[in-house]
């Protein structure tokens, strides 16, 4: 599955989960999956806990997060001194 196909699995709809990025329009947010992974939940456990998820959904979440982090920029703010 290519990058575009993976990112297409992430959907944003103001009527689903208050517009947070979700997986394929399901009521499972990117944030939920990232927090679960950061908390030590394994991919296998996620797939068991959320039977509607597919392994590619987890890949899509990680790619989406990487893309957002890659766009982040930090600018130095002058102190005026």
Digitized pLDDT (tens) for each residue of the chain, 81 residues in all: 899 999 999 999 999 999 999 999 999 999 999 999 999 999 999 999 999 999 999 999 999 999 999 988 888 887 766
Residue 1: what pLDDT?
A: 87
Alpha helices in the chain (DSSP H): 3-7, 30-38, 43-49, 55-71
Counted domains in the chain: 1
Do the domain assignments include residue 41? yes
Do the domain assignments include residue 46? yes
Residue range(s) defining the domain that contains residue 40? 3-64
- Domain with 49 in it: what CATH number? 1.10.10.10
Do the domain assignments include residue 55? yes
Do the domain assignments include residue 18? yes
């Amino acid at each position: 599955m290519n990058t575009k196909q993976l990112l297409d699995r992430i959907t944003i709809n103001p009527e689903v989960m208050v517009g947070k990025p979700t997986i394929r329009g399901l009521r499972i947010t990117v944030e939920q999956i990232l927090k679960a992974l950061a908390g030590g939940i394994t991919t296998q456990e996620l797939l068991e806990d959320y039977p509607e998820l597919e392994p590619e959904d987890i890949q899509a979440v990680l790619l989406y997060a990487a893309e957002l982090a890659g766009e982040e920029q930090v600018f130095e703010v002058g102190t005026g001194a």
